[in-house]
Structure formats: C-alpha cells, structure tokens
C-alpha cells in the first residue's frame, strides 16, 4: 500500500485535468481490496475496475458515481475498523465533498487520502513492532 501526500493527490488531479483522479480512484480501491484480503478482514469491495467504470461511464445513468464514491468511503472506514483505528472516515462527508465540488476541485480525494494514510501508517507501525 502506498502512502501518498493528500495535497499531492489534489494538485496532480488539477494539473492533469482529472486524469490522475481516475488513476488514484482505481489504485485506492485496489489497495483497499488487497488490504482486506491480506488482513483476513473479508471483502472491501469487488473489482476496482467496476468502481472506476461507475465514476466514468456511470455518469450516463447519473446514479452509479454517487454510489461508488459512497462505497469507497465506506471501504476506507471498514479498513480503519479492521486496523483498529479509532474514529472512522465518513462516507457521508466524502459523498458530500464529491457532490458539492466539481472534479477540478477534488477535495474528496485529499480527504480520502488522509484517511487512507491513517490505515497505512498504522499498518507500518504494527509491522515495525512485530
């Protein structure tokens, strides 16, 4: 799992006109799926590709991007529970950031990365202690 700078994710998305957004979204969902498998925490979603398709092609029918974003934040919260981190990411806040701000101002990615980094940092610390 890769620790990323939340503001680096934010700025790369703006500089690449949203292309990095798609890369990040796929990677984050893949890392969450892999983390759940490795930790024995069950499934944290299915295919990262389906999540990516939901926020791209899903706009045709309007609803899939919102469901996918909410579920991604739910996966982050579940990963935090698996890791034993107190306080969880809020799927509702993530969804509201996604709805309120257009893709060129992707604060939901910065928020998601901050929450993901908590999980990755916790796992790194646990590995050092073992």
Q: ∠46-92-125 over CA atoms, to 5°?
A: 65
* Distant-in-sequence, close-in-space partners of 49: CB < 8 Å, separation ≥ 6: 26
* Residue 39 confidence (pLDDT): 78
Instruction: State yes or no: pLDDT of 109 exceeds 80.
Output: yes
Instruction: State yes or no: pLDDT of 77 exceeds 70.
Output: yes
Instruction: State yes or no: pLDDT of 104 exceeds 60.
Output: no
Task: Sketch the domain layout of the chain as residue ranges.
Answer: 6-129
Q: Which helix (H) or strand (E) holds 5?
A: none
Instruction: Give the chain's mean pLDDT.
Output: 89
Instruction: State yes or no: pLDDT of 7 exceeds 90.
Output: yes
Mean pLDDT (whole number) for 54-74: 93
């Amino acid at each position: 799992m890769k620790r990323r700078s939340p503001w680096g994710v934010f700025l790369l998305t703006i500089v690449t006109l949203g292309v990095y957004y798609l890369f990040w979204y796929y990677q984050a969902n893949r890392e969450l799926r892999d983390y759940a498998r490795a930790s024995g925490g069950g499934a944290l979603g299915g295919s990262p590709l389906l999540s990516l398709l939901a926020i791209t092609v899903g706009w045709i029918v309007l609803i899939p991007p919102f469901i996918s974003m909410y579920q991604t934040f739910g996966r982050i919260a579940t990963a935090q529970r698996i890791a034993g981190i107190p306080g969880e990411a809020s799927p509702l806040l993530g969804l509201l950031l996604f709805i309120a701000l257009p893709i060129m101002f992707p604060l939901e990615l910065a928020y998601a990365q901050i929450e993901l980094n908590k999980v990755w940092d916790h796992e790194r610390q646990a590995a050092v202690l073992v």
